[in-house]
Amino acid sequence: MSRSSHSGDQSIPHTAALDIEIDTRRSRKDLDPDLMGIPPRSTPVPPPVFMPGMSPASSAPPAEATATPLPIRAASSGHHDEDAGAADSDIALPKLRLRIDDISHPGAAVFLSHYDAARDFEHCVRSVLRHLYYISPPVQKHLHQPPTRSVTLILRDMPGVAYTTGSDLDDDHKEIHFSLAYIAGVQPSARRHAEIMGVVTHELVHCYQWNARGSCPGGLIEGVADWVRLQCELAPPHWKRGEGTGDDGKWDAGYQRTAYFLDYLEQRFGKGTVRQLNEKLRVTKKYEAKGFWTELVGRPVENLWEDYREALKKEKDDGTRDGVDVKTCEQGAVPTATQA
Question: Buried (b) or exposed (e) across 279-313, using 16+ Cβ within 10 A?
Answer: bbbbebeebeeeebbeebbeeebeebbeebbebbe
Q: Is 137 helix (H, G, I), strand (E, B) or coil?
A: coil
Q: Which among 54-62, 126-134, 262-270, 315-323 is the span making contact with Zn ion, rule CB under 5 A? A: 54-62
Q: How far is the CB of 197 from Zn ion (least distance, A)?
A: 15
**Residues of this chain, 115-174, that bind Zn ion according to CB under 5 A:** none
What single string gives the DSSP state of each residue in 239-299?
--TTTT-STT--TTS-HHHHHHHHHHHHHHH-TTHHHHHHHHHHH-SS--HHHHHHHHHSS
Quick one: DSSP state of residue 35?
G
Alpha helices for 59-191 (secondary structure H): 106-114, 117-133, 180-185
Q: Taking the complex as a whole, how short is the minimal distance between the CB of residue 88 and Zn ion, in angstroms?
A: 25
C-beta of 57 vs 334, nearer to Zn ion:
57
335 with 233: CB under 8 angstroms? yes
Q: Which residues contact 109 (CB under 8 A, 6 or more apart)?
A: none
Those residues whose C-beta lies under 8 Å from the C-beta of residue 117, and which sit 6 or more positions away, are 20, 22, 98, 153
The residue (of 102 and 203) whose beta carbon lies closer to Zn ion is: 203
Minimum distance between the CB of residue 203 and Zn ion, rounded to whole angstroms?
6
Return the range that interacts with Zn ion (CB under 5 A); candidates 8-16, 18-26, 52-60, 62-70. Answer: 52-60
Q: Is the CB of 70 or the CB of 230 nearer to Zn ion?
A: 230
CA dist 295 → 48, 139, 141, 300, 302 (Å): 30, 16, 19, 9, 14
Residue nearest to Zn ion (CB): 55
Nearer to Zn ion, 70 or 255 (CB): 255
Q: Nearest approach, Cβ of 55 to Zn ion (angstroms)?
A: 4
CB of 243 to Zn ion, least distance (A): 18
The least CB distance from residue 222 to Zn ion, in Å, is 5
From 53-61, 91-99, 190-198, 244-252, span contacting Zn ion (CB under 5 A): 53-61
Does the footprint of Zn ion cover residue 179 (CB under 5 A)? no
Distance CA 25, CA 323 (A): 37
Binding to Zn ion in span 205-224, by CB under 5 A:
222
The smaller minimum CB distance to Zn ion, of residues 76 and 209, is found at 209
With respect to Zn ion, which residue has the nearer C-beta, 42 or 55? 55
**Which strands make up the sheet holding 95-100, listed edge to edge?**
18-22, 95-100, 150-156, 173-179, 162-166
Distance from CA of residue 138 to its chain's centroid?
A: 24
Binds Zn ion (CB under 5 A): choice among 24, 42, 55, 179:
55
Number of residues that bind Zn ion (CB under 5 A): 3
Nearer to Zn ion, 225 or 333 (CB): 225
Is the four-CA dihedral 202, 205, 207, 212 of positive or negative sign? negative
Task: Return the number of the residue (55 or 278) whose C-beta is nearest Zn ion.
Answer: 55
Cβ 90 to Zn ion shortest distance, Å: 26
CB of 155 to Zn ion, least distance (A): 17
143 or 207, CB closer to Zn ion? Answer: 207
CB of 333 to Zn ion, least distance (A): 19
- DSSP string computed for 198-212: HHHHHHHHHHH---G
| Beta-carbon count within 10 A of 321 CB | 11
Q: Which residues bind Zn ion (CB under 5 A)?
A: 55, 222, 225
